[in-house]
Amino acid sequence: MAFGGEIILRPRSWRRLLRFGGYATVAALSPSTYGPVARAVAVRQIYLTAWKFLPAYLAFSALLSLVVIEIVHSAAAAHGLGPYALELVLRVLILELIPLLTALFVALRSGAAIGAEIALMRVNGELEDNEAGAGPLQGELVPRIAAAALSVFCLTTLSIALAMYLTYALFYGTSVSGFYAYTRVVGHVFDLQILVGSLLKCVLFGFAVALIPLATGLEAERGNARTVPAAVLAGLMKLFLVIGVIEILSLVVKYV
> Widest CA span of the chain, in angstroms?
67
Angle, in degrees to the nearest 10, between helices 112-123 and 192-217: 30
Q: Is the pLDDT of residue 201 over 60?
A: yes
Q: Is the pLDDT of residue 164 over 70?
A: yes
Element (H, E) at 145: helix 142-172
Looking at residue 169, its pLDDT comes to 92
pLDDT band at 143 (very low <50, low <70, confident <90, very high): confident
Q: CA dist 16 to 24, 33, 156, Å?
A: 12, 22, 29
Looking at residue 216, its pLDDT comes to 82
Q: Is the pLDDT of residue 222 over 90?
A: no
* Sign of the dihedral defined by the CA atoms of residues 69, 70, 71, 73, in that order: positive
Our CA dihedral for 92, 148, 3, 222, rounded to 10 degrees, sits at -170
Q: How far apart are CA 214 and CA 120, in angstroms?
A: 11
Question: Which is higher by pLDDT, 127 or 191?
Answer: 191
* Sign of the dihedral defined by the CA atoms of residues 20, 158, 61, 78, in that order: positive
Looking at residue 9, its pLDDT comes to 60
Q: How far apart are CA 66 and CA 64, in angstroms?
A: 5
| 139 DSSP 8-state letter | I
Q: How far apart are CA 69 and CA 59, in angstroms?
A: 15
| 172 DSSP 8-state letter | H
Q: Decide if 51 contacts 155 (C-beta within 8 A).
A: no
Q: Is the pLDDT of residue 221 over 80?
A: no
Looking at residue 6, its pLDDT comes to 53
Looking at residue 1, its pLDDT comes to 46
Looking at residue 135, its pLDDT comes to 53
